[in-house]
């Protein structure tokens, strides 16, 4: 073993970073990121963080109700209450630590409206809130003497012992071995299981796959959220998001004939929750036999749009679309995972010493559908909770011996079979997109199982490609198994 720590956190998104800074200075922490430290879904978040800061025009009960309505009342009520009631203090805390949030001339934090929210309660940094959060938290964490950070450090295997965990990490083509009493998985989402996604390249569900292979309970992995308005002209796999806030500021959705249609499917129209709007677009697409859809916000003053949505304006301009004059082409794509590694209110998984927080975790707050801007809030509240719970345990039980270190297999081996990742992406995109095709579940599941068989049957050379292919295969298989079981 190269080194042992009290805690290893896998992931440097909002959840990993906030967990790291929530430990007292006598707890040793290692933070791992498989690529650059800022490459994550957190960095891509545009809209903001939902939280009740103004108790005159808003209150916890309203935020809880909005969350439950969006989640179709499939949420875990206690988890939602904790999110809503504890979240505001975390948002104020990150702001105090240096995360820059937009303010009104009177000094109060700006709050905007997003789909599914009954009040203006989304705090933001222009349209690049996630980047502001990651940059602010990372700058702070880098000053902490008890936290070591390793970038380009890919977790490729986890071993559970009586006292904790041994983690194998691939860095610069070499293996490194670390031990810890407690481990927090903050590895983010699963977007790369799909052909088109808004997610970062790191979103391959690694933490979920490792937790599953250790025997942790995984819950509701088939609760995948599709964002209705990703920029649709580019053929890139990572689709650029036209945030809900654009509709919150008055953009309307148009079909291929240039006509509004969202109200024909739900009376909340463009501001209905994401699943409802995605559903409306796909049904309208089937009706019109066209995949051409647009957002129109040209009625707003150009200066306002450039100031309010600088990143979106710029990205659209790069694609030849001037949002002050042109309709923005949009279509749904994979965006978020509501399910994940099942955790309790302390962020503990079903495995002793293993915690999960952020998008890879299933706290139950989102139910069947996430309310916009609740996920960064969840990442903050539940990662801090994990750190607090681990600290309590370290105080009570002290540092435990880790137990026997496993034999490590060499990273060399034969070359992995090619094409597995694209096959899985095609399978999921076809069988389980916005309007699922139940008749394809069984066959799709069998195909993914064959790919798993291929990937796990031999000692291939350990590369990031292999680790990620295995992760997306395991994730796809759990999703398809869940939906096909639901069919029976
Ligand atoms: C385009 C876009 C816009 C969004 N907008 C909003 C918004 O406005 N408001 C909101 O609340 N939410 C938004 N979300 C969702 C939100 O950003 C994410 O749910 C949240 O940031 C997830 O944070 P996380 O820390 O759990 O994961 P991430 O930020 O994705 O971080 C995951 C980390 O895990 C690391 N990792 C993964 N696997 C391994 C491995 N094997 N070894 C080592 N490290 C590993 C990665 O390197 C990365 O550092 C948006 C998401 C996207 C994609």
Which residues 6+ apart lie within 8 Å of 464 measured at CB? 34, 154, 170
Nearest protein CA to atom 37 of ligand 1, as residue: 187
Task: Give the Cα separation of 395 and 374 in Å (integer).
Answer: 32
Q: What is the mean pLDDT of each run of 10 residues along the chain (488 residues)?
A: 97 98 98 98 94 95 97 97 98 98 96 90 94 98 98 98 97 96 98 93 98 98 95 76 88 97 95 89 95 96 93 93 96 95 98 98 96 96 98 96 92 95 95 94 97 94 97 98 83
CA dihedral 294, 298, 299, 305 (to 10 degrees): 120
Going by alpha carbons, the residue nearest to atom 51 of ligand 1 is 45
Q: CA 117, CA 373: separation in Å to the nearest integer?
A: 10
Measure 420 CA to ligand 1 centroid, in angstroms: 24
**Ligand 1 binding pocket, CB closer than 6 Å:** 10-16, 32-35, 40-42, 44-49, 129-130, 153-155, 186-188, 198-199, 202-203, 206-207, 241, 336, 358-359, 373-376, 379
Say what the pLDDT of residue 237 is: 66
Please state, in angstroms and rounded to a whole number, the distance separating the CA atoms of residues 77 and 70. Answer: 13
Residue 329 bridge partners (DSSP): 294
Ligand 1 center to residue 42 CA distance, Å? 4
Side-chain half-sphere exposure of 125, counting CA atoms within 13 A: 19
**For residue 230, with 0-12 CB atoms within 10 Å meaning exposed, 13-18 middle and 19 or more buried, which class applies?**
buried
Could you tell me if 249 and 308 are in contact, meaning their C-beta atoms sit under 8 angstroms apart?
A: yes
Mutate to test the pocket of ligand 1, among 12, 42, 151, 241 (most ligand atoms within 8 A of CB): 42
**For position 287, what pLDDT does the model report?**
96
CB 381 within 8 A of CB 430: no
Closest residue (by CA) to atom 8 of ligand 1? 47
Pair 271, 365: CB distance under 8 Å: no
**Pair of tokens at residue 432:** 């389980």
User: Ligand 1: which atom is nearest the Cα of residue 200?
Assistant: 53
| pLDDT value at residue 235 | 67
Pocket test for ligand 1, best of 376, 469, 475 (most atoms within 8 A of CB): 376
Residue 48 CA, closest ligand 1 atom number: 8
- The distance of Cα 9 from the centroid of its chain, to the nearest Å, equals 16
Task: Count CA atoms within 13 Å of residue 147 on its CB side.
Answer: 25
pLDDT recorded at residue 95: 98
pTM over 0.85: yes
Q: How far apart are CA 426 and CA 61, in angstroms?
A: 42
Spatial distance between the Cα atoms of 284 and 482, rounded to a whole number of angstroms:
28
Task: Please give the number of the atom of ligand 1 that sits closest to the Cα of 37.
Answer: 49
């Amino acid at each position: 073993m190269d080194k042992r720590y009290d805690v290893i956190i896998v992931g440097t998104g909002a959840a990993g970073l906030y967990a790291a800074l929530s430990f007292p200075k006598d707890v040793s922490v290692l933070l791992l990121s498989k690529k650059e430290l800022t490459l994550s879904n957190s960095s891509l978040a545009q809209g903001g963080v939902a939280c009740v800061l103004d108790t005159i025009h808003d209150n916890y009960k309203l935020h809880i109700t909005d969350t439950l309505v969006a989640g179709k009342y499939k949420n875990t009520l206690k988890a939602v209450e904790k999110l809503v009631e504890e979240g505001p203090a975390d948002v104020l805390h990150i702001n105090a630590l240096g995360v820059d949030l937009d303010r009104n001339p009177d000094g109060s934090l700006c709050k905007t409206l997003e789909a599914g929210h009954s009040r203006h309660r989304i705090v933001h940094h222009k349209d690049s809130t996630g980047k502001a959060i990651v940059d602010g938290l990372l700058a702070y964490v880098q000053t902490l003497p008890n936290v070591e950070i390793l970038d380009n450090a890919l977790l490729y295997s986890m071993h559970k012992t009586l006292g904790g965990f041994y983690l194998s990490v691939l860095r610069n083509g070499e293996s490194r071995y670390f031990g810890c009493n407690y481990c927090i998985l903050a590895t983010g989402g699963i977007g790369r299981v799909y052909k088109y996604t808004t997610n970062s390249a790191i979103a391959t569900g690694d933490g979920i796959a490792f937790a599953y292979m250790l025997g942790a309970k995984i819950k509701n992995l088939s609760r995948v959220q599709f964002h209705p308005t990703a920029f649709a002209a580019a053929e890139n796999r990572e689709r650029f998001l036209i945030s809900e806030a654009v509709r919150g500021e008055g953009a309307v959705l148009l079909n291929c004939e240039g006509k509004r249609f969202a109200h024909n499917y739900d009376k909340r129209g463009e501001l209905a929750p994401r699943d409802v709007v995605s559903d409306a677009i796909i049904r309208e697409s089937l009706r019109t036999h066209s995949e051409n859809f647009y957002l129109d916000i040209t009625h707003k003053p150009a200066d306002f749009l450039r100031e309010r949505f600088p990143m979106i304006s710029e990205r659209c301009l790069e694609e030849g679309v001037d949002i002050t004059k042109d309709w923005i082409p949009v279509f749904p794509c994979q965006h978020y995972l509501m399910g994940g590694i099942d955790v309790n209110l302390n962020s503990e998984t079903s495995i002793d010493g293993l915690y999960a927080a952020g998008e890879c975790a299933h706290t139950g707050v989102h139910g069947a559908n996430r309310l916009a801007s609740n996920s960064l809030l969840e990442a903050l509240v539940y990662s801090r909770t994990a750190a607090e719970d681990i600290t309590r345990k370290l105080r009570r039980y002290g540092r435990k011996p880790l137990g026997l270190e496993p034999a490590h297999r060499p990273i060399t081996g034969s070359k992995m079979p090619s094409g597995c990742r694209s096959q899985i992406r095609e399978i999921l995109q076809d069988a389980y997109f916005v309007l699922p095709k139940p008749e394809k579940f069984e066959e799709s599941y069998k195909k993914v199982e064959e790919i798993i068989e291929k990937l796990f049957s031999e000692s291939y050379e350990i590369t990031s490609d292999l680790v990620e292919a295995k992760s997306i295969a395991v994730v796809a298989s759990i999703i398809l198994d869940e939906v096909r079981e639901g069919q029976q």
